[in-house]
Structure 1
């Protein structure tokens, strides 16, 4: 994929397979461990979908939709506690359809994946507090 954008790869191949950078989607997606399969979007996305989008700054992001609103989406990484507002359809490049871990493909339609998503997202306030506290403890320990 050298010297081509995610958009170009999707247009050329009808899908994009890549490994992510960062920890914002842990524990589901771990950097340098998992491969992600992204496909073009078919219509408006739904709650729990994981779009690959491009912020106005040009930064690519893969986070989960927590709420679908009339003109935009409320999005947050699984390992984040701050929600992002104002992501519109024009920002969305593709949507996660599967994760490949240890050579095995796990579809977003897999029942285990769906259970994870509902537990992780439906308990957002508790999860957000937990992630925030763990982050504070980690930063405190690094400072010592």
Structure 2
């Protein structure tokens, strides 16, 4: 019997395989790392399913995997599309990353696994979250700060 083992690769190392699978029409599931998309998902707890997408099919609200000019891979939400450019922002952030070329997009998130439960990006509850969290962008930092303080107080009382 073969022993099961886990191999951890950076997106830089995984990129050729990822691109090949997506171009073949496959979906790819990745574990989320980082905190820029909190509170939607948590570092190393949640997963996303990616699919290849045509440049013209992108829309506001989509979460995309894209590569920055410095080579960094990022999963962020499209806030605004215009003239083959887009503004993106993580859900835990309020400052927009502007003038990102739509050519930088590698894939779009189509499903999310949050706390072990899967849901698609066209689920009504998710779309309500996207809408409400979107209008809260100017005050997200304060909301997340208060939520963090409440969590700390709960932990300290245990």
TM-score past 0.5 threshold: yes
- 1:37 counterpart residue number: 49
Listed as ranges, the gaps of 5+ residues in structure 2 are 1-6, 150-158
Secondary structure at the aligned position of 1:63 is classed as: strand
Residues 3-35 of structure 1, C-alpha deviation per residue, up to 9 Å, x if partnerless?
431323423562111112110001111111111
Kindly name which structure, 1 or 2, has the bigger radius of gyration based on alpha carbons.
2
Query: Within 5 Å, which residues of 2 pair with 1:1-144?
Result: 3-5=13-15, 6-12=18-24, 14-42=26-54, 43-128=56-141, 130-131=143-144, 134=145
Listed as ranges, the gaps of 5+ residues in structure 1 are 139-144
- Cα distance in 1 between the residues matched to 2:125 and 2:29: 22
- Cα distance in 1 between the residues matched to 2:100 and 2:61: 15
- Cα distance in 1 between the residues matched to 2:71 and 2:20: 15
Secondary structure at the aligned position of 2:80 is classed as: strand
Give the structure-1-normalised TM-score: 0.82
- Cα distance in 2 between the residues matched to 1:117 and 1:30: 16
| Paired residues of 1:52 and 1:96 also in contact (CA < 8 A) | yes
Give the structure-2-normalised TM-score: 0.75
Secondary structure at the aligned position of 1:125 is classed as: helix
1:47 deviation in Å? 0.8
| Paired residues of 2:51 and 2:108 also in contact (CA < 8 A) | yes
| Paired residues of 2:93 and 2:137 also in contact (CA < 8 A) | no
1:83 deviation in Å? 0.7
